[in-house]
Copies of this chain bind each other. A is one copy, B any other.
Amino acid sequence: MGGSGYAAQELVRLVAQHPHLRLGWILSRSHAGQSLSAVYPHLRGLVEGRFGSPDELVDLARSVGVIFLATPAGFAAEQAPALLERGAAVVDLSADFRLDDAGLYERVYGRPHPHPELLSQAAYGLPELFGAEVARSRLVANPGCYPTAALLALAPLAAQGLLAVERPVVVSATSGISGAGSQPGPMYHLPVATENVRPYGVPGHRHTPEMRLHLGRLLRAGAGAGTGAAGVELAFIPHLVPASRGILATCVAGLREPHDTDELTQRYAAFYREAPFVRVLPPPELPETKAVQGANFCDLAVRWDPGSRSAIVMAALDNLVKGASGQAIQNVNVLMGWDQTAGLMGAPLYP
């Protein structure tokens, strides 16, 4: 549901190559009744048929296994109970279930959550960090693209009690413009956006509380090894760059003790040993967004910077894959008990 956007396009591409999933219906308010190939020129000859109408959604919930909601804010919050009741599992790509606290949700989104009782039932679908939750849930809140990058970058430090929590963590990130969605606008018009870099949403981007919340959960989990700190301050500065896809998040975090780059790299590699989509790069390699283009990987590198007593952690992922639709498929794999890599090991498109 929400078939006109980039997340839906990418879901269609990924479902088409998945061994266990079969595409049932694609619903779209704006394109209901149109043929798929008129809207998605690249899918001609691969996926045929027409867009259905959102009116069919609740009925379909009885006959399908999984419903992906790639819908505007608020839609999933309203519709999820009816879908779950009828037996479908729901993966919500919007932000409606990412915050587990109704009060925080209201402060961030400016309206009360219509079904606050569901917030605690929703799993935060970052399987590398919260996979057990996902495995036992029927409602998955698919994380934001920036939080996916930042949390994978910072988790080994937070969960092992290494962070100096008295210093704010700084997350400076760039995103390709597909991250802003498929709706044209002056800032995304190619003549303006090419050869241009600009920050936006500073401060106060809605992904900031999402990052802080789940980073706090990791910190508390790591408290046995560390200080027991309850949270961490965080500055998040997103930027648009002239590319279609790709997030590069650079995180600077004070650590409680000096480390060195090799030791930190080994910690990261150990932390993600069971995580096939997280590739920890050996020095001197550094992530680049093109190396994950079209694929479900998140590439990480960590450096100890003695000049600022900080760990610098850099993460690259494709915002439409690991940052959205690929992760949604990965969540379904976990939810269904399939191999989490099923249908997701296609190689990145490079160069």
Contact = CB atoms under 8 A, between A and B. Distances in A.
Interface of A: 6, 9, 12-13, 16-17, 40-47, 167-168, 170, 172, 174, 176-178, 182-186, 188-200, 202-203, 208, 212, 233-235, 237, 239, 241-246, 248, 250, 252, 254, 276, 279, 281, 285-295, 297, 299, 303-310, 312, 314, 316, 345-351
Contacts of A174: 174, 197, 239, 241
Given A195-B195, A235-B252, A345-B46, A308 B200 contact: no
A252 B237 contact: yes
Contacts of A292: 42
Contact of A188 (B168, B184, B295, B305): B184
Contacts of A208: 307
A318 to B, nearest CB: 9
11 contacts: A44-B279, A168-B308, A170-B170, A189-B190, A190-B190, A195-B243, A195-B289, A196-B243, A196-B288, A203-B303, A234-B308
Contact of A287 (B199, B242, B304): B199
Given A202-B303, A252-B235, A194 B244 contact: yes
Contacts of A346: 17, 346
Nearest to A6: B351
A351 B293 CA distance: 11
A59 to B, nearest CB: 28
Contacts of A250: 172, 199, 237, 239
Given A237-B250, A349-B293, A244 B197 contact: no
A290 B351 contact: no
A333 B349 CA distance: 22
B252 A348 contact: no
Contacts of A293: 42, 195, 349
A288 B310 CA distance: 28
Contacts of A193: 190
A251 to B, nearest CB: 10
B168 A254 contact: yes
Given A44-B279, A168-B309, A190-B188, A244 B199 contact: no
A294 to B, nearest CB: 5
Contact of A297 (B45, B194, B299): B45
Q: Which of A195, A279, A297 has the most CB of B within 10 A?
A: A195
